[in-house]
Amino acid sequence: MDGKGWNTWGEGAAFGLQNGMAVIPYALLKYYRKLNLSGSEAMLLIHLLSFRQVEGIEFPSLEELQNVTGRSISVIAGELQKLMKEGFISIDGDNDELRDIHYEQYNFSGLYSKLGAYLAEAAQEAAQGKTAGHAQTSRTAGRYSGNPAAAAPGEVEESRNLFSIFEKEFGRPLSPMECETISGWVDQDRYPEELILLALKESVFAGKVHFRYIDRILLEWARNRVKNAQDVKNYSQNFRGR
């Protein structure tokens, strides 16, 4: 980048900083899906926090929210209603007697409480897992060394750590993107853990141990209503018999 380019970049950065900065809880960015929030709902919370911190607007209008999100007022209203119903935000009202006006503002204590509770629970689980984690992972991973179609559903459902099993099969730590992919299979696509592990084993047997191949297996099974080990077995037999 030449001197002119650096000047342009610097001017843009300076302009952005002069327009203010909002402090967003990192836990919200990292764990919003664990709280069953969609990406747009999490972004709406971020906008509400930003309006308060940067612009001093405690209760932005639907039109103001529409301008920054680019989504329809009806969608925004629906998301706000859900956030209030599930206790992430609430609305406080008060009167300014000096100016004789009534005003409202969003209260984020529910959001902070939920984030705090999740972090405390995660920390407790991590502490408990330090003593038995290694042995449990070895025992759990060992259950899935056979044919995936023959895996017992009860055994598969005992798994509590998909990440550890995937790391064992891949022979390395998972990347953040790979962890996000597994979380998406569970939280968004609603694939049973049993099915995810069976797809992993199919990829191992095929010699194609990578996430794209596993995702294609899961998608193919979903299209054909394959939901458990028996369905996988039946589907495999029908597929080979074609």
Spell out the domain ranges in the chain.
21-112, 143-240
Q: Are 40 and 66 in contact (CB under 8 A)?
A: no
Do 21-112 and 143-240 have matching folds?
Answer: yes
For the chain, 242 residues long, give each residue's pLDDT as a single digit of tens.
555 555 665 565 455 556 677 888 888 999 999 999 999 999 999 999 999 998 889 999 899 999 999 989 889 998 999 999 999 999 887 776 676 677 788 999 999 999 888 888 888 877 776 544 444 444 434 444 434 444 444 433 333 478 888 888 888 887 777 877 888 888 888 888 889 999 999 888 888 888 999 999 999 998 888 888 888 888 877 765 55
Long-range CB contacts (within 8 A, 24+) of 78-81: 79/40, 79/41, 79/44, 80/44
Number of residues that make up the chain: 242
Q: Nearest to residue 231, comparing CAs of 188, 208, 203, 199?
A: 199
CB count in 10 Å sphere of residue 44: 24
CB count in 10 Å sphere of residue 226: 21
CB count in 10 Å sphere of residue 148: 23
Q: Which CATH number fits domain 21-112: 1.10.10.10, 3.60.15.10, 3.40.50.2300, 1.10.10.520?
A: 1.10.10.10
Which region holds residue 52: left if phi is over 0, alpha if psi is between -120 and 50, else beta? alpha
Torsion angle, alpha carbons of 40, 44, 49, 52, to 10: 160
| pLDDT score recorded for residue 2 | 55
Q: How far is CA 119 from the centre of its chain?
A: 15
218: Cα within 13 Å, side-chain hemisphere: 24
| pLDDT score recorded for residue 158 | 36
pTM of the predicted structure, to 2 decimals: 0.48
What topology does CATH give the domain 143-240? Arc Repressor Mutant, subunit A (1.10.10)
